[in-house]
A = this chain, B = another copy of it.
């Protein structure tokens, strides 16, 4: 069987359960039923192994987002659905939750870098979607980079920060808030 895949699976498993720092290469080898040296025939070091897994994760997220975006729908509908998708994705993926925790609480270097990469990937994706919408004249011209950044940060705040002190918002509420703030605006008529 594919030893490389065994290793990747084992590492994903362990990172998801214990986080990056608390995962040892001995443990990965043991879970994968593989000698430790074997890992190093496929990956330069622990960080490279982690990198492979994070890259996969980002690809998956992109696919999840893409599957929910349809060009014939309006942008605000697409954003709404994509947000749903992202929320579902996070819920299903213990790995992202664990890593976000570790990044926030311990600040492990490699993990903070991971979070930055994920953030950059998501913002860049939103940016592209926005750019297309602007080109098609679907929304007002605006700086797509700042707008994507603002959407992402607000999204993260509503998910993580709001829950710290107040009753969590459900998906419908979050979706509705985005519609209201970013698309309709608070002004009357």
Q: Is the CB of B182 within 8 A of A162?
A: no
Contacts of A182 in B (CB 8 A): 181, 185-186
Taken together, the copies of this chain in the complex come to 2
Chain B residues within 8 Å of A145, by CB: 166
- For A153, what are the chain B residues with a Cβ–Cβ distance below 8 Å? 153-154, 157, 161
- Structural contact, B139 and A180, CB atoms closer than 8 A: no
Decide yes or no whether A169 CB sits under 8 A from chain B: yes
A187 touches B154 (CB 8 A): no
List 18 interface pairs A-B (beta carbons < 8 Å), by A numbering.
A75-B186, A76-B187, A139-B186, A140-B180, A140-B186, A146-B177, A147-B181, A147-B186, A149-B162, A150-B154, A153-B154, A153-B157, A157-B157, A182-B186, A183-B186, A183-B187, A184-B187, A185-B186
